[in-house]
Amino acid sequence: MNLIRRTVLGMAAAAALAPAAALAQDTIKVGEINHYKRMAAFAEPYKKGIELALSQINGDGGVLGKDLEFVFRDDQGDPAEAVKIAEELMTREGTVMFTGTILSHVGLALSSFAAEKGYLYLASEPLADSLVWGSGNPYTFRLRASTWVQAAMLAEEAAKTDAVKYATIAPNYAYGQDAVAAFKENLTRLKPDVEFVAEQWPALFNIDAGAEVQAIERAKPDAIYNVTFGTDLAKLVREGGDRGLFDGRSVYGLLTGEPEYLEPLGDEAPEGWYVTGFPWYGFEDGTPGKTFVDAYVEATGETPKIGSLVGYMTAQSIAAAINKAGATDTASLVAAFEDLKVEGTPIGELSYRAIDNQSTLGAWVGTTALEDGKGVMVDWEYKNPAPYMPSDEDIKAMRPAE
């Protein structure tokens, strides 16, 4: 089917599915689905970031002359519950699209549902590569930098060292699996003699840290690649620190530098790990990042987390898309998101790539350190994702035919 015919048919089908009540409402509603109880450390700051952005957007006149409203729902981290909520939001609540989720397996379920029903889904946080590549579809867009990109940034640093033998540890679900595969592929390309001597796959939020540390130690790796987060990370850091697992070894941590996961470690925070994260405390005056931090602190009385940033930019992206579309039907919104440019974000201009519906949000990388009894990132830098992306040809080959 040629591109024009495919587009026309897709727009007609999507328009037919768009909630008719949306245009008659006093506000333009967006469904927000997340794990507010199960992952409160991320989800609550995320919600506050959305609320800050909404206060600014609506204070400036809203979208299409109406206030933008988010309808928040808790899916308890259950993919089936998330899909059920999405259907209710679109058919009963009059939302024009839905967004959210943290866990990748929940995001993948919503993405599949969006494609099946012809609804627009902005995956704000789920990091699994398959979301926009192997399982990508025209109705799903993503804000956060992909697992591949962040793992490639860590692999680049790892390749500079003398380490040859690596152990990996990651939660056993879509995100963890993608994160390990991406690191292995990127590091092997940069350093062909590398060897992976152990792969540990604890159940998500149910790690047996003692057993995992013992297994890694037995393999005698030169370096460790860690993908655990939340309570799993805290247990691994404590057990590994007590047993000397990290002594004399380079450690690379995906997400470890994010305040949600680093701050709770207190004075047990690891030092010298090379990580991705969000060093909000290091932004210079006059930069977009510092402007966001100051506004967030003033509005909430709290310091921001990476979730705060993601929520803020989620609302900014949706407002920009609606304004660009000039309408709220799905076809118009999908078309608006393709090559969408979002101005005034904490990183400057953000855009969404038409080739894979992935945003151009990059990642901060740096080294962990202890300052005043708490973990921080030092020697950090913000990296643009473009140099770490697969080629356009490879991306086209990965995405299903549309």
Q: What is the pLDDT of residues 208-256, one digit of tens each?
A: 999 999 999 999 999 999 999 999 999 999 999 999 999 999 999 999 9
CATH class (in words) of the domain with range 3-145+285-361: alpha beta
Q: Write the pLDDT tens digit of every residue in 168-196.
A: 999 999 899 999 999 999 999 999 999 99
CB 48 within 8 A of CB 308: yes
pLDDT value of residue 24: 56
Domain assignments of the chain as residue spans, ordered by start? 3-145+285-361, 148-279+363-392
Percent of the chain exceeding pLDDT 90 equals 93
Token pair for 109: 């379920």
Judged against a pLDDT cut of 90, whether residue 80 lies above it is answered with: yes
Determine the average pLDDT of the residues in 63-72. Answer: 98
Judged against a pLDDT cut of 70, whether residue 364 lies above it is answered with: yes
Placement of tokens 């680049």 in the chain? 156
What stretch of H or E contains 377?
A: strand 374-383
Question: What topology is assigned to 148-279+363-392 in CATH?
Answer: Rossmann fold (3.40.50)
Query: Three-class SS of residue 394?
Result: helix
Judged against a pLDDT cut of 70, whether residue 327 lies above it is answered with: yes
Determine the average pLDDT of the residues in 278-300. Answer: 98
Q: Write the pLDDT tens digit of every residue in 101-117.
A: 999 999 999 999 999 99
pLDDT value of residue 200: 98
Burial of 196 (0-12, 13-18, 19+ CB in 10 A): middle
